Amino acid sequence: MIFYIPVAANIPLLIYCYYKNNGNFLLSILITLIIFILWIYLNLFPYRKEEYARKRLRIMIGGRTLCFYSFYGLLTQICIIIFLYPLLREKIDDSEILWLNGVYALGINFFLFLNGIIRIFFTSKWLSVRKRVLLILTVWIPIINILVLCYILRIIKWEYEFECYKVSLRETRAESDICKTKYPIILVHGVGFRDFRHFNYWGRIPRELMRYGASIYYGNQEAFGTIEYNGEDIKKKILEVVQETGCEKVNIIAHSKGGLDSRYAISILGMDKYTASLTTISTPHRGCLFVDKMYKLPEKLYRLVAKFYDNIFKKLGDKRPDFYVATHQFTTYNSKKFNEKVIDSPEVYYQSYISVMKDCLSDILLTIPYFFIKILEGENDGLVSISSAKWGNFKGVIKNKYHRGISHGDIIDLKRQDYKGFDVIEFYVQLVSELKKMGF
User: In degrees, to the nearest 5, what angle opens at C-alpha 385 toward C-alphas 402 and 312?
Assistant: 100
* Closest residue by Cα to residue 384 from 289, 297, 263, 278: 289
Contact by Cβ (8 Å): 425, 202: no
Predicted pLDDT of residue 16: 79
Using the CB atoms, write b or e for 83-105: b if 16+ within 10 Å. Answer: eebeeeeeebeeeebbeebbebb
Q: Categorise residue 301: left if φ over 0, alpha if ψ from -120 to 50, beta otherwise.
A: alpha
**pLDDT (tens digit per residue) in 287-324:** 998 888 877 788 888 889 899 999 998 988 889 999 99
Contacts of 34 (CB under 8 A, 6+ apart): none
What is the C-alpha end-to-end distance of the chain, expressed in Å?
A: 57
Distance CA 63, CA 42 (A): 11
pLDDT bucket at 176, cuts 50 / 70 / 90: confident
Predicted pLDDT of residue 427: 95
Same domain, 164 and 184: no
Contacts of 151 (CB under 8 A, 6+ apart): none
Distance CA 248, CA 277 (A): 12
Q: Which has the minimum average pLDDT: 8-17, 56-65, 186-195?
A: 8-17
Mean pLDDT of all residues belonging to the chain: 90
Name the domain boundary from 112, 146, 170. Answer: 170
Distance CA 146, CA 139 (A): 8
User: Could you tell me the pTM of the whole model?
Assistant: 0.78
Contacts of 310 (CB under 8 A, 6+ apart): 224, 318, 321, 322, 323
Same domain, 280 and 371: yes
Q: Which has the minimum average pLDDT: 55-59, 133-137, 432-436?
A: 133-137
Same domain, 74 and 181: no
Predicted pLDDT of residue 35: 86
**Element containing residue 397 per DSSP (H, E):** strand 393-398
Contact by Cβ (8 Å): 317, 305: no
Same domain, 158 and 184: no
Strand boundaries in 256-392, DSSP class E: 275-281, 349-355
Same domain, 268 and 395: yes
Same domain, 158 and 113: yes
Name the domain boundary from 118, 137, 170. Answer: 170
Same domain, 147 and 17: yes
Q: What residues pair up with 279 in beta bridges, in sequence order?
A: 253, 351
Same domain, 226 and 144: no
Distance CA 116, CA 61 (A): 9
**pLDDT (tens digit per residue) in 13-70:** 888 777 777 767 777 788 888 888 988 988 988 887 777 788 899 999 999 999 999 9
Q: What is the number of structural domains in the chain? A: 2
User: In degrees, to the nearest 5, what angle opens at C-alpha 230 toward C-alphas 227 and 235?
Assistant: 120
Same domain, 90 and 205: no
Helices vs. strands in the chain: H and E counts, helices first: 18, 6
Question: CATH number for the domain including 348?
Answer: 3.40.50.1820
Report helix, strand and coil shares of the chain as percent, to nearest 5.
60, 10, 35
Per DSSP, 154 falls in state H
Predicted pLDDT of residue 23: 66
Same domain, 247 and 353: yes
Q: Would you list the DSSP string of 331-370?
A: SHHHHHHHHHHSPPPTTSEEEEEEE--SSTTSSGGGHHHH
How many CB atoms are closer than 10 A to CB 305? 14
Same domain, 79 and 100: yes
pLDDT bucket at 146, cuts 50 / 70 / 90: confident
* Closest residue by Cα to residue 265 from 225, 224, 220, 232: 232
Give me the count of residues in the chain: 440
Predicted pLDDT of residue 15: 81
Q: What amino acid is encoded at 13 in this protein?
A: L
Name the domain boundary from 122, 154, 170. Answer: 170
Same domain, 264 and 358: yes
Class of residue 163 by CB neighbours under 10 A (exposed 0-12, middle 13-18, buried 19+): buried
**Element containing residue 110 per DSSP (H, E):** helix 96-123
- What domain range includes position 97? 4-170
